[in-house]
Amino acid sequence: MNASSATAAPPLGAHIERLDDVLAATVASQDAPFVVAAVADTGGLRWSGTAGQDGTGEDVRLDAVFRIYSQTKAIGATALLILVDRGLVSLDTPVAQLLPDFAGVHLLDSIGLSGPVLRAPRTECTVRHLLTHTSGLAYEGLDARMTAYRGATGDPVTGILSLQTLLSYPFVFEPGSAFAYGVGVDWVGQLVERLDGRRIDRFCAEEIFDPLGMTDTVFEPSDRPGRIPAVRQRTPSGGFRVVDVAPPEHPAIYGLGTCLYGTALDYLRFLRMVLGGGELDGRRILSDAAVELLRTDQMPAGLSVSPITSDDHSWSCDIHPFPEVRKTWTAGFLRVEADVPGMRSAGTLSWGGILNTHYWVDPANNVAAVFMTQALPFVEPRFMDRYAQFERAVYRDLVADGEEDER
């Protein structure tokens, strides 16, 4: 696939049918209640499709607005990198130097009979640590140390938490010494507000969403009423039940880890900016140097992404994509360091949100794609098998076509 083939894409014929078949089979087998998916390159949209119903008895729309949760994180990283481009901060800036409140974050040394034992960390936490999930700020439910801490403080895990709670977490290891997926990018949102002066919702609208034409990406669901599908959760019988899960509305402060709503096509515009080296439709968001930070491993030397173990498989299964491949974290994305046969290439960037909104962006093959629903648990194996089937179909039917066109 290349940009020239996208502007005058060849007729896809049976290829569209095959991709549509993956979506239809996903819903028919109850591997997801519905799916919205799309594929693009630097030249534009190559394919899109939907299957299933949105929970109101209506067929899901291509412009359905999703609770994208951790898909917010790459946008949060982009907000920070805009300020890196402006010389206001670097990835190696100590966070407490800019946010005095951060100096009060302590490290969980142990949990004794009287409760948690905290101490000051010996290592300064930097912006790089926050962005690459090497700060030691971990999510409860996805890290046994944080789950134990929450229990020891008499505040057991109750699902989606407020940002104020997330920002009260201690480190579970010395910054820069290990990987643990967590709340670092929420602190990044506070950094952006402190350095720029604008509230984070205004900053993102003016610096990212408006320039990229992401007209349906918002902080509040009331801004896009009637287009937000219901969330379903797997039941013991294998079906789904509707559950009430959403980021808190009108919080006192917004983080940049989980707070956004948006459409599949909006997120593809963001991914096309990454494919395009920081630019989309003539609007430049990031410099070449900043895009390099988004595309390349930024973890402290010797570290890589380790498996993430879930405490509650009704919310999230264990997270260990492509276990045979070494994975790192860039300033904004999970990155695979080797080719996955029949699928993504080395250097592909990806991640997703807790309600099973998933994406990847493959610069080597000039392809980006989204595969999105609103269902729990996260990364349920049967759903991920369909996502992998979709990805293989994209490379077989679209990427291979682009390579044939070039020849």
Note whether 317 and 310 are within 8 A (CB).
Answer: yes
For residue 382, the one-letter residue type is: R
User: How large is the average pLDDT for residues 111-127?
Assistant: 94
Q: Does 404 score more than 70 pLDDT?
A: no
- Measured distance CA(387)–CA(4) in Å, rounded: 27
Three-state SS sequence of 52-99: EECCCCCECCCCCCEECHHHHHHHHHHHHHHHHHCCCCCCCCEHHHHC
Band (118; pLDDT cuts 50, 70, 90)? very high
Q: Does 119 score more than 90 pLDDT?
A: yes
Band (173; pLDDT cuts 50, 70, 90)? very high
- Measured distance CA(249)–CA(220) in Å, rounded: 6
**DSSP labels, 265-285:** HHHHHHHHHHHTTSEETTEE-
- Measured distance CA(233)–CA(30) in Å, rounded: 11
For residue 319, give the DSSP letter: B
User: Looking at residue 407, what is its pLDDT?
Assistant: 43
User: Looking at residue 5, what is its pLDDT?
Assistant: 30
Q: Is 261 helix (H, G, I), strand (E, B) or coil?
A: strand
Note whether 141 and 105 are within 8 A (CB).
Answer: no
- Measured distance CA(127)–CA(125) in Å, rounded: 7
288-345 pLDDT, tens digit per residue, is 999 999 999 999 999 999 999 999 999 999 999 999 999 999 999 999 999 999 999 9
Backbone angles phi, psi at 67, to 5 degrees: -75, 105
User: How large is the average pLDDT for residues 265-286?
Assistant: 98
Instruction: Estimate the crossing angle of helix 381-394 against helix 14-28, to 10 degrees.
Output: 180
Question: What are the domain boundaries of the chain?
Answer: 3-65+216-406
User: Looking at residue 56, what is its pLDDT?
Assistant: 87
Q: Does 362 score more than 80 pLDDT?
A: yes
Band (255; pLDDT cuts 50, 70, 90)? confident
* Max intra-chain CA distance, the chain: 70
Instruction: Estimate the crossing angle of helix 264-275 against helix 72-85, to 10 degrees.
Output: 40
Average the pLDDT over each of 159-168, 207-216, 325-334 and give the range with the smallest value: 159-168
Instruction: Estimate the crossing angle of helix 184-196 against helix 72-85, to 10 degrees.
Output: 40
Averaged pLDDT score across all residues of the chain: 92
User: Looking at residue 11, what is its pLDDT?
Assistant: 41
235 contacts: CB under 8 Å, gap ≥ 6:
241
Q: Residue 162 region, left (φ>0) first, then alpha (ψ -120 to 50), else beta? A: beta
> Domain 3-65+216-406's class?
alpha beta
CA-nearest of 345, 343, 372 to 357 is 372
User: How large is the average pLDDT for residues 5-11?
Assistant: 35
Burial class (CB in 10 A: 0-12, 13-18, 19+), 20: middle
- Measured distance CA(277)–CA(78) in Å, rounded: 12
User: Looking at residue 377, what is its pLDDT?
Assistant: 98
User: How large is the average pLDDT for residues 75-98?
Assistant: 98
Indicate the pTM of the whole model. Answer: 0.92
Q: Does 3 score more than 50 pLDDT?
A: no
Band (16; pLDDT cuts 50, 70, 90)? low
Note whether 107 and 136 are within 8 A (CB).
Answer: yes
Q: How far is CA 304 from CA 23, 131, 139, in A?
A: 33, 14, 18
